Structure formats: structure tokens, C-alpha cells
Amino acid sequence: MRFIKLLCIALTLTVLTGCLDDLKSDSKDLRTDTSTGGENSAPALDFMELTTESETVQLSTELMSNDAVVLYYTMWCPICDSHMSHLRNNIIDNYRNVRFLIVDYVSGTVAQSRNSQVSNGYASLTVLADTDQSLIEQFNATMGTTVVIDDQNKILMNEDYKNGARLAEVLEAL
Amino acid sequence: MFKRKVLSQVVAAAAVSSFLVGCGSSSSSGSAASTTTDIEGSAFASYVSGAKVMAMAGVNEIAGPVTTTANGGFKLAIPNEHLKSDLVFKATGGTYTDEATGEQAASGELSVMAGAGTLKAGSSIHATPSSTIISKLMAEHGLSKDAAEKAFNDAFGYLPDTSVAPVDATKASDAEDAKKLAGVRAAAFSQLLKNLGLDKGDHSALLAALAEDLADGTADGKKDGQAVNVDGTAGAMALKADIANKFATALYDFANNADMNKSGLNTGQVGLIKFNTKAVSENYTFELTPPKMTQVGQAVYTLKVTNNADSSVFANKPVSMTPMMYMAAGHKHSTPNTGCTDTNDQGVATCTAYYLMASAMGNGDVMGNWELKFSVGMGDDKESVHFFPKVMMAMGDTARGTLKGDSNDQIAMGDMAMSRNYNIFNNGLAGMGDMRSAEFFISAQESMMSFPALVDGVELNTGTAYAMTPNNIIVEVSTDNTAWVKATTNDDGLWMAKPLAGLVDGEEGKLYVKLSVDGNEKTTDGKTAEVDNVAAEFTVTPGAGSMNMSM
């Protein structure tokens, strides 16, 4: 009888624990978001994308010959233009060993993306045509998002461009 | 005694166990042994508390009534045999907090139609103002589901997802965006009541009137040619001919009101606001005719203005136009435009905008909403209306090129300085053979809100550190990037280059445009002029592109 009593209590506790697991006040967020950078972020996953000139760019390849890769997400709006203009005139030339890539996630086709690139005056930059929006999803990005990945695949930054100061600070510390 | 004590402990533990085993699984009366299926949902104007909800199959009440909770929630046990039929869930009475006024309001009737076979155990369904109009179109006006949804979508630009539970748009929440959007759209009907000068208690009367108006397939304030009235508490008020645009404006007004809209969705995140072509202010009716296709680049509108009092034309008067983009990302900006001409003898003005960006991505996702605000009159007599054009990405010929100022030609952008943009819009080709002409409009950016035409002698960024008065503007155009033709202007931002040789009908060619201001060549990258950065490049196909003009 003592055995039955203990068994019932044990069963009760087991069920109770199972039910309330998500409600414990000390529960930790067990998500492993690899997209947003920071000290505890997982390494950036490799990706391969077509440029607007139909060349293939692969993250791992770029990181073999550069200190870092910078992604800037554009929708070819005037706000994006102000960021990209600032990026080109004040940042890019200062970091010769960093690969700067513009991500167009809005145009839908490589040809349309190239058209937008030229119309907006950025023919000289490398633009990735993220036609399936996989790069938007991979880095949980949106308009103006700027991502820095170092040569150890670590995401050093994933945030809005704002005035470029934070980007310069991150690149300076490479 | 001992046995009884142990037995009682066993029974208690077993009871607790059996209770807890159920924890986490949903209860359903829709099991094989059950004859009914539980369907949950809500009545939402905002949250309608205390409404009586019943389910109906045709005219037969098959479940309920039950009373909604504080959040408008209800659960009805639907006899399984009725799940194969069209069902209407009808909520009557109750109270809610009117979003536009923040005041308590009595709810009349909200309803939602569930198609035959669409509900099963675990389904939910939500009665909103939108679903009520569609439901009424079907139940009271005899439209098919497809016809009712088409009429609604044509008028308001969206279809409600009745499985999505709306949340109160006047409160911050961490709900998913679809729930917030459903809440904002419901709030827009409250805003519409307010904008129309109706009482919050006229909510149901307004929904009934909108359904009656839409019964002939068109939202024009009439049903089969007869005026539709809102039979509200303050008497009857006829719906105006621009009722669809009134809703679009109400949606815009609510979304754009940060004091009321706490949903977290901004004006650029409420879906594409429907573009309607008629808007009525207190004294004037505005009818806007857009170009065949509105895309990034030049868009020429004709705007007819008439007086409401006697339908006479509003002739030979000034009209102003203000374009604004509300981006989903939360920013807003204007776009280059030349405004409107004065209305002519027929009350018609020509208004031209040069769109910098599209409303939607290639996959249809919304990037933001364009608003065109038109105004007539001055001071206290000024009256304004809003239109919300959908702008597509540029297709075919290059619509726009950009040249940029160097380090001595900058503008402020927040706490940054950036190269001034000279946006060059391709207004199209005219002529034949080697005697073609090309027209361009060139604007000079001052800020995100100001893109005036680049005109000799007209100062830019007046009163700022970036002030500049261009005194010698030279625009040159080439078809081969070698031989250049100087363009001429009437100091209105429009530049005409001719003759241009080397383009062939039906074949893709190039136009290159150079811009020099006071001896400084503007470049594609804002850097010092070099051989390969001094011209904006346009791809054109004479005789085939939509922008070819007949001049």
C-alpha cells in the first residue's frame, strides 16, 4: 500500500511538472536566434546569392579574402538612398579589406533590381538580388538594416544604419 | 483507519492526476461521440461585451444565444449536421469602447458568415464591421459569397480574414500583426462615423447603409440609382458618392493618429489603402483621373473640380497638390512634383507627380502608402481631400536617373550630410528617325520633404548652411555617350534635347544625360567627375516604351 501511495504521488508530481514547465518564473529563453548578432549569437550561416550582374557571391568565399562582410538592406527609397550615399562617401573607402554588399529585397527579379540600382545611382556598388527574400529572413532584416560579419563568421552588428557611426565603430575594431 | 486514509490519498492523487493529464489539451465536444462541435469567436467593433450571440442556418437558430465576455469572446456548440451548411453568427446588443472617441457605445448588430464545411473543431470565427457588411450583402441583399466579397473588396481594398481575432487598436499589445490590422480596420469604421459627423451609436446603421449601397456592386452612395440613407439616431443622412474614399481616408486618419492608434501599425502598415477616384469635401467634388499605369517616374493626373451646390465647374481657380509617402518602416517623405495648373474653363486641372518609389515590392508586399492631398481655397475656406494611389515599380524604359552633388554640394539628413540628389525623370521620346527629341524633368533635393525643380536663379535650401543658387545649369543628352546635344528649358524644370540621332524604332537604345551646375559636373556617385561617372544612363526603346510621347 505504501508503494501505491508513493507511486501515486510520484505520478502526480510528474504530471504537475510537465504541465507547469512553461510557467516557471526562472524559465530561460531557449531560442537560438542566430540572426541578430551579439556576444551569444551563433555564427552566420553561409549563403550564396546572385548579384544584379548575374555573378555569384558566397559569404564564405568573401570572408576568406576580407576582414568582414557588410550587408546593407535597401528598398531604393529616399531614406535608403541617404544611408547608401553616406555609406559610399564616408565609410567604404576607409575599409578597403571589407566587402560591402547592398541587398535588394524588394525588386523581385535580377533585371528589375539592376534597373533600380542604376536608376538610383549605385551602379558602382555590388547589389545582391534577394529575389526570394532569403537574406531578409536569414538576418531578420528590414529596410536600413546593416549587418557586419567578421572573418570568423561572427555577426558583430545587426541594426539600423542610422548615421553610420555605429558601423564605423564596429569596422574600426576589426 | 489506515486503509481508509491511504485509499483517500490514492483517490485524491488519482483525481489530481486525471485533472492534470487534461492540462494542455483542448476540450472539444467535437469528438466521435459528440453530436456538436465547439466554435469559438468574438464580436468586435472594438471588444463587444455582453452581446447575445447565436448561430443561424438560414432563418433557423441552431445554437445559442450565449453572452460575450469582456473581450467579446463567445463559444457555441454547433450541431454537427449544420457544419455542412452556410452559417451566420449574429451578435446583438452589448457595449464596446468606440475607438475614435474613446467613449462607451452600445453595439447594435454584428455578424459573420461561415461558408459550408469551413468550420471544424478548433475553428474560430470573428464578427467585425467588415464581416458584417459582407454577411448582410449575402443574407439581406441576396448576393453570392463571391459577389459580396468582390463588392466589398472593390470598395474598401481588402477582405477580412474572419478566422483572425482582432485586438483593440487603441491599446498596445504584442499580438501578431494580422490581429492588429483587423483591429485597426475595425477602428476605421468608428473613425468613419466620426468623420461623417454621425454618432457612435449609429455604428450598426452605418454598416447596414454600406451594405445597402454595395448591394448593386458599387459604393457610390446609391442603390440602383436611389440614394442610400444612414438611418441613425439623429435622423437620416444620405451616404455621399465618395463613401469608399471616405473609408480610405478614415483608415488613413486613424492609422496616422498617434494619440488613438496604439496598435504599433503605422500608416504604411495597414495594407494598401484603396485608391478611389472621387472625393467630396464640404463644397466641392474632386474627380481624379490617373495615368493608364502609375509607376515610379512621371504620373500626370487630370483633376476635375465641381461645386456641390449646383454641380457647376470650379473654373479658373488654383489647386494645390501635396504628395506624401508613408513607409511601412515608419518614415515618411515627399516626392518631386510640379503641382497643378489652375483649373480651366471646364474645371479641369493637370497635376504632375514624379514618384521616387513604388508602393509595393515585386512580390506584392506593401512598402508604404502614397497619399495625394488636393486643396482648394485659402485660409478658413480651404478644403482638402485625400487620394491614395498605388504606384508600381518602373517597367520597360528607365523612368528615372540620378546624379549627385560632390562634397561641396550636400544637404542635411538628420545628423548626417549627404550628396544632394538631382533626380532626372524621363518624360519620354518624340519624333522619328534621327530627329527625335527627349524630355526630362530635373529636381534638386533639399530634404526628404522638398524636391523642387532645378531652375536657374532659384535658391535651394534657403537660410541653411547648404544654401545654393544655381546660376548656370547645363543639361546635355547623348545617344552614344560621345556626341552631346545641349538641352533647352523654359525655367520650369523641364529640359528638351533635340535632335537625337541613332535610336531605332523597336530596338533598345541608350540615352545619357549630363548635368553641370555652375561649372560643377554632377556625378552618378557623388565623387569627383571622371569619364565613367558623369552621365546618368537611361535604357529606352523608341516606339515601344510606354513613355513615348506624341509631340
Q: Quick check: B362 and A118 CB within 8 A?
A: no
Q: Quick check: B398 and A118 CB within 8 A?
A: yes
Angle between helices B129-139 and B177-195 (to 10 degrees): 80
Q: Quick check: B401 and A164 CB within 8 A?
A: no
Q: Give the pLDDT of residue B223.
A: 93
> Do A58 and A47 meet the contact criterion of CB atoms below 8 Å apart?
yes
> Do B49 and B94 meet the contact criterion of CB atoms below 8 Å apart?
yes
> Do B338 and B289 meet the contact criterion of CB atoms below 8 Å apart?
no
Q: How far is B21 from chain A (nearest CA, A)?
A: 6
Q: Which of B390, B435, B179 lies closest to B275, judged by CA?
A: B390
Give the tens place of pLDDT for each residue, A40-90: 677 899 999 999 999 999 999 999 999 999 999 999 999 999 999 999 989
CA triplet A80, A86, A89: central angle to 5 degrees?
A: 135
Give the tens place of pLDDT for each residue, B497-538: 999 999 999 999 999 999 999 999 999 999 999 989 999 999
Average pLDDT per run of 10 along chain B, which is 551 residues long? 45 41 38 82 98 95 95 96 95 97 96 95 96 97 96 97 97 96 98 95 96 96 93 82 97 96 96 96 97 95 97 97 95 96 98 96 91 96 97 92 94 88 97 95 97 97 95 97 97 97 95 97 93 94 61 40
Q: Using an 8 Å CB-CB cutoff, list chain B residues near A77.
A: 325, 327, 331, 333, 356-357, 367-368
Q: Give the pLDDT of residue A41.
A: 73
CA distance B416 to A88: 13
Q: On the CB side of B285, how many CA atoms lie within 13 Å of its CA?
A: 15
Q: What is the DSSP letter of B148?
A: H
Q: Give the pLDDT of residue B232.
A: 72
Q: Which residues contact B92 (CB under 8 A, 6 or more apart)?
A: B51, B52, B107, B108, B109
- By the CB < 8 Å criterion, does B230 face chain A? no
Residue of A nearest to B395 (CA): A112
Q: What is the DSSP letter of A164?
A: S
Q: Which of A134, A150, A148 lies closest to A63, judged by CA?
A: A150
DSSP, residue by residue, B114-135 = E-TT---TT-EEEE-HHHHHHH
- By the CB < 8 Å criterion, does A86 face chain B? yes
Q: Which of B298, B324, B395, B419 to mutate to test the interface with A (most CBs of A within 10 A)?
A: B419
> Do A100 and A125 meet the contact criterion of CB atoms below 8 Å apart?
yes
Q: Quick check: A133 and B363 CB within 8 A?
A: yes
Q: How far is B10 from chain A (nearest CA, A)?
A: 6
B442 phi, psi to nearest 5 deg = -120, 125
Q: Give the pLDDT of residue A14.
A: 40
Write down the pTM of the prediction: 0.87
Q: How far is A152 from chain B (nearest CA, A)?
A: 31
Q: Using an 8 Å CB-CB cutoff, list chain A residues near B416.
A: 82, 86, 163-164
Q: Give the pLDDT of residue B363.
A: 85
For B9, B15, B101, the CA distances from B4, given in Å and listed in that order, are 9, 16, 64
**Cα-trace Rg, chain B:** 30
Q: What is the DSSP letter of B218?
A: -
Q: Which three cell numbers stand for residue B334?
A: 515627399
| Helix (H/G/I), strand (E/B), else coil: A127 | strand
CA distance B103 to B120: 37
Residue of B nearest to A86 (CA): B418
Q: How far is A68 from chain B (nearest CA, A)?
A: 23
Q: Give the pLDDT of residue B99.
A: 97
Which residue among B328, B398, B413 places its CB closest to the CB of A115? B398
CA triplet B489, B495, B497: central angle to 5 degrees?
A: 105
- By the CB < 8 Å criterion, does A108 face chain B? yes
Q: Which of B268, B244, B537 lies closest to B385, judged by CA?
A: B244
First to last CA, chain B: 109
